[in-house]
Amino acid sequence: MNDLSPSREERIANLKGLGCSRKRVEDVRFTQGKGNYVDDIKLPGMLQGDFVRSPYAHARVISVNKEAALALPGVIAVLTAEDLAPLNLHWMPTLAGDKQMVLADGKVLFQGQEVAFVVAEDRYIAADAVELVEVEYEELPVLTDPFAALESDVVLREDLEGQSAGAHGPRRHHNHIFLWEEGDKAATEQVLDSADVVAEEMIYYHRTHPCPLETCGAVASMDKVNGKLTLWGTFQAPHVVRTVASLLSGIEEHNIRVVSPDIGGGFGNKVGVYPGYVCSIVASIVTGRPVKWVEDRMENLMATAFARDYWMKGRIAATKEGKITGLWCHVTADHGAFDACADPTKFPAGFFHICTGSYDIPVAYVGVDGVYTNKAPGGVAYRCSFRVTEAAYFIERMVEVLAIELGMDAAELRRINFIRADQFPYHSALGWEYDSGDYHTAWDKALAAVDYAGLRREQAGRVEAFKRGETRKLLGIGLTHFTEIVGAGPVKNCDILGMGMFDSCEIRIHPTGSAIARLGTISQGQGHATTFAQILASEIGLPADSITIEEGDTDTAPYGLGTYGSRSTPVAGAAAAMVGRKIRAKAQMIAAWLLEVHEGDLDWDVDRFVVKGAPERFKTMKDIAYAAYNQAIPGLEPGLEAVSYYDPPNMTYPFGAYICVMEIDVDTGEHEIRQFYALDDCGTRINPMVIEGQVHGGLTEALAIAMGQEIAYDDIGNCKTATLMDFFIPTAWETPNYTTDFTETPSPHHPIGAKGVGESPNVGGVPAFSNAVHDAFRAFGLRHAHMPHDHWRIWKIANQLGLHG
């Protein structure tokens, strides 16, 4: 007779599965300084690589003289494009269907571009040698403005001369990359022409940078004895890096092992393939020794993938009652010197066409022109699913501008235009099928939580007091209701360099009832080792504490497309659930044999199979795991392991309602965030503690972007923001406390209903902060002002509105 204790509730708690704020397993190492990041790797005989970079934004490279550098003791090699050309590695393909110079081939196109790669015995000698490489440049005219670039006679990409089409269709000018369109242009323009009200605005989402605290780097080690290349690096997609490395180098894929060790934050910065990775590999092959390359912060900010830089011209039409009838958008997208955006191949503007947002808009059109300029390449999804941040900012600003045009309250305008809960699955005018949502419930909860009506009364009183000269501070109420599209994605339309964007999980249950599971993703701080074990624990009935999670080693993990675009939970998390179900199916057969009943006579109960109607007769997963290895079960292979490759049927659509209450000092331009309320609906919640942490972090990155962070250039292409002195990252002092809240609308197509959350706070946070600034000045006639809203720019808004007397 089996003992029926512990109780069902105790057994559920013991699993630490779904919904549990399980403490993170990663933290034990990290808090002791025992993480293992790429710069911590130290191999015998390891050399150090460092770049000679261009001081000019556009110049011909007349000559590169290595002699003095090579003469320095301890310098092993200096590589230039000439050295890479015989290997055909002086250029490399980008993720966006373009190509990019690995080392300057005849000219440079942005400040900080890689010109030569120095390899030396240590980092000090390498830095000395960089100074000794003599490069002769001939300056060329610089184009930093995408609108001017499309008019200019100056040809940036001479390598593309005569090519009237690129990877994404026709190019209409030598500095034009593509025009990408979605929606019904004619019908949208017709609606705009006959609408009661049309609001029009140019909204710039400025260039910024993910700036993870750990910069990018790699260690390449070519073992010439066994012909194997091992590459450790800051890779958000290690398996794709292996495939690309194989295609570029000609080394067979089984002879390449790519390892992402611990990663110190990614935020999209570590998705792409950078010249440093390629040069490290080549240098290791050439020298026969391991080569490490780790960029410094200036290199990271100047040359490694930027984000945003979208000039979004919008027109939104509505009835005089405020019902939105159409949306039109044209984007001039500054891609820099090479089109190195990290988007699924068929989406050169990512998922920007989620820009109808949370609203039921009958007709819409979006066109995006990609343009080359003399700026660093990139256009990565900085805590964002492929241009979703730009889209959310665009629509949430356009709605505010429309509210001004209509003289309506912006919360009410949103409410009357939300997609209703009964409209899901909802087909948007720009082609997406929103899987689920309940926007009205979330919105009402958010407005009630902050006492929205009370805030508006206080604001009106403040405006009056300001006009009477009793205060110099204004109050802004920043509203946002965002809808994201994450979890790329269905293989039928989502791929990166031809690799379908499925993901994977493989699990082995050990005889004593513990397990190891490996996935195709890689954590950069998201806590996968903690949360994926929770998904599995709930599926297979073994405690999360008994499940080791591993990611990032291509020799052991199943192939997957990596971690970015909030895809880990929607795709790899689904694979984890599915692989758990495979294990359970076999476990059921084993249990049936052990209990001498038919499989159909068993019920699953938390951590065991129980004979229907006989609760005292059961086998726990622990019993079953042991039996899988020590019993000869007729018709069944020994062992208990499985693999699942999950191709999602659709994206997931997390949403949220954010409200920021901000005090603004009209005379100094300083702001104070009095309250920030963030309601997120990410479907089924796996670990509330981790979700809350993600929301805090994403909101702080949003705060940075909205209130001061930018990558700025002067007219001759000098990057003016290449250190953390100039590039704003909020400290604990500037960062407010946030209040988090949630509703829970499970995704109907995801095995556990989860939607992903990591990027929501950045997508929704930026418009919430920005709208608060705008809202503070609405009573004084402000319609739109470009971000970032640093003190100087806010002061200028006040000044231009005549508020300084």
Partner 1 sequence: MTKMHIKLTVNGKAEELLAEPRELLIHVLRERLNLTGAHIGCETSHCGACTVEMNGKSVKSCTVFAAQANGAEITTIEGLGSPDALHVLQRSFREHHGLQCGFCTPGMITRAHRLLQENPAPTEDEVRFGMAGNLCRCTGYQNIVKSILAAASEINAAQEAAE
Instruction: Specify the 3-state DSSP secondary structure of 646.
Output: strand
**Which listed residue (144, 524, 721, 745) binds partner 1 by CB under 8 A?**
524
Segment interacting with partner 1, rule: CB under 8 A, options 27-35, 393-401, 494-502, 505-513: 27-35
Question: Residue 262 or 680: which CB sits closer to partner 1?
Answer: 262
* Residue 47 within binding range of partner 1, rule CB under 8 A: no
**Pair of tokens at residue 361:** 């808009």
Instruction: Assess 29 for contact with partner 1 (CB under 8 A).
Output: yes
| Part in contact with partner 1 (CB under 8 A); list of ranges 21-29, 146-154, 193-201, 643-651 | 21-29
Buried b / exposed e along 707-746 (16+ C-beta atoms within 10 A): bbbbbbbeeebbbebbeeeebbeeeeebebebebbbbebb
* Cα 108 to Cα 85: distance, rounded to the nearest angstrom: 16
Contacting range for partner 1; rule: CB under 8 A; set: 248-256, 332-340, 519-527, 639-647: 519-527
Segment near partner 1 (CB under 8 A), from 25-33, 98-106, 440-448, 623-631? Answer: 25-33
In the complex, least distance from residue 212 CB atom to partner 1, rounded to whole angstroms: 6
190 burial (CB, 10 Å; 0-12 / 13-18 / 19+) is middle
E strands present in 106-160: 107-108, 114-120, 134-139
**CA–CA dist 704, 765 (Å, integer):** 10
Sign of the CA dihedral with 779 first, then 781, 783, and 787 last? negative
Nearer CB in complex with partner 1: 70/127: 127
Q: Which of 417, 644, 652, 700 contacts partner 1 by CB under 8 A?
A: 700
Q: Which stretch binds partner 1 (CB under 8 A): 165-173, 421-429, 604-612, 689-697?
A: 689-697
Read off the DSSP letter of residue 33: T
Of the candidates 539, 769, 602, 546, which has an alpha carbon nearest to the alpha carbon of residue 673? Answer: 769
Distances (CA, A) of 331 to 236, 342, 364, 493: 28, 18, 14, 23
Nearer to partner 1, 216 or 583 (CB): 216
Say how many residues touch partner 1, by CB under 8 A.
57
Closest C-alpha to 496, from 389, 383, 573, 381: 381
Closer residue to partner 1, CB minimum distance, 554 or 709: 709
Tokens linked to 513: 């009832």
Q: Which of 784, 794, 776 is nearest to 463 (CA)?
A: 776
Minimum distance between the CB of residue 735 and partner 1, rounded to whole angstroms? 5
Q: Binding to partner 1 by residue 264, rule CB under 8 A?
A: yes
Q: How far is CA 337 from CA 98, 373, 378, 574, 603, in A?
A: 10, 5, 9, 38, 61
Closer to partner 1 by CB, 13 or 724: give it: 724
Q: Which of 383, 397, 608, 685 is catalytic?
A: 383
Residues 6+ apart with CB under 8 A from 169: 178, 179, 180
Residue 76's closest CA among 105, 106, 117, 42? 117
Between 36 and 194, CB nearer to partner 1? 36
263 contacts partner 1 (rule: CB under 8 A): yes
Could you say which of 35, 93, 367, 511 contacts partner 1 (CB under 8 A)? Answer: 35
Cα 247 to the chain's mean position, in Å? 25
**Residue 264 Cβ vs partner 1, minimum distance, rounded to whole Å:** 3
Provide, rounded to whole angstroms, the least separation between the CB of residue 586 and partner 1: 35
Of 148, 499, 102, 106, which Cα lies nearest the Cα of 340? 102
Q: Which of 16, 24, 622, 778 binds partner 1 (CB under 8 A)?
A: 24
Which of the residues 342 through 401 are near partner 1 (CB under 8 A)? none
Quick one: 648 or 708, whose CB is closer to partner 1? 708
User: Distance between CA 252 and CA 245 in Å, rounded?
Assistant: 9
Closest CB 729 distance from partner 1, rounded Å: 5
Q: Which of 216, 384, 494, 682 is catalytic?
A: 384
Q: Is 190 considered catalytic here?
A: no
Among 40, 193, 252, 412, which residue interacts with partner 1 (rule: CB under 8 A)? Answer: 40
Minimal CA–CA distance to 583: which of 505, 646, 529?
505
HSE-CB of 32 using CA atoms within 13 angstroms: 6
Binding-site member from 4, 13, 28, 614 for partner 1 (CB under 8 A): 28
Query: Nearest approach, Cβ of 214 to partner 1 (angstroms)?
Result: 5
Closest separation in Å from C-beta 568 to partner 1? 14
Alpha carbon distance 209, 91 (integer Å): 24
Write out the binding residues for partner 1, residues 274-303 only, by CB under 8 A.
Answer: 294, 296-297
Distance of alpha carbon 357 from alpha carbon 731, whole angstroms: 31
Q: Give me the phi and psi of 680, to 5 degrees please.
A: -115, 140
DSSP string, 527-583: -HHHHHHHHHHHHH-S-GGGEEEEESBTTTSPP---S-TT-IIIIIIHHHHHHHHHH
Write the interaction track for partner 1 spanning residues 707-726; mark x where CB under 8 A is met and - where it is not: ----------------xxx-
CA 602 to each of CA 4, 168, 589, 612, 625: distance values in angstroms, whole numbers, following the listed order: 16, 55, 10, 6, 17
Stretch that binds partner 1, among 276-284, 347-355, 470-478, 690-698 (CB under 8 A): 690-698
From 100, 111, 113, 236, active-site residue: 236
Rounded to the nearest whole angstrom, what is the least distance from the CB of residue 295 to partner 1 in the complex? 11
526 binds partner 1 (CB under 8 A): yes
3-state secondary structure of 604: strand
Site map 116..145 versus partner 1, x via CB under 8 A: -------xx---------------------
Q: Determine which helix (DSSP H) or strand (DSSP E) holds 644, and give its type and residue range.
A: strand 641-646
529 lies in the site for partner 1, by CB under 8 A = no
Where in 729-748 is the site for partner 1 (CB under 8 A)?
Answer: 729, 731-733, 735, 737-738
Residue 516 as a binder of partner 1 (CB under 8 A): the answer is: no
Cis bond upstream, residue 425 (ω within 30): yes
Nearer to partner 1, 482 or 738 (CB): 738
CB of 767 to partner 1, least distance (A): 18
Query: Using the rule CB under 8 A, which residue among 33, 44, 162, 469 binds partner 1?
Result: 33
Active site residue 236: yes
Which of 2, 13, 34, 714 is the binder for partner 1 (CB under 8 A)?
34
Q: Is 697 in the site for partner 1 (CB under 8 A)?
A: yes
User: What is the rounded distance in angstroms from the CA atom of residue 268 to the CA atom of residue 524?
Assistant: 10
Q: Counting contacts by CB under 8 A, is residue 43 touching partner 1?
A: no
**Residue 699 beta carbon to partner 1: minimum distance, rounded to whole angstroms:** 6
Residues pairing with 336 in the sheet: 372
Nearer to partner 1, 43 or 197 (CB): 43
Shortest spacing between CB 282 and partner 1, in angstroms: 24
- Cβ 176 to partner 1 shortest distance, Å: 35
Shortest distance, CB of residue 522 to partner 1, whole angstroms?
12
In whole angstroms, what is the distance from residue 114 CA to residue 126 CA? 15
Q: In the structure encoding, which two tokens stand for residue 488, read together? A: 């790329």
- Residue 162, number of CB atoms within 10 A of its CB: 6
174 versus 270: smaller Cβ distance to partner 1: 270
Q: Which of residues 177-236 bind partner 1 (CB under 8 A)?
A: 211-215
Selected from 14, 19, 39, 508, the binder of partner 1 by CB under 8 A is: 39
**What is the set of active-site residues?**
236, 383-384, 759
Residues contributing to the site for partner 1 (CB under 8 A):
23-24, 26-37, 39-40, 42, 123-124, 211-215, 262-265, 267, 294, 296-297, 524-527, 689-690, 692-694, 696-701, 723-725, 729, 731-733, 735, 737-738
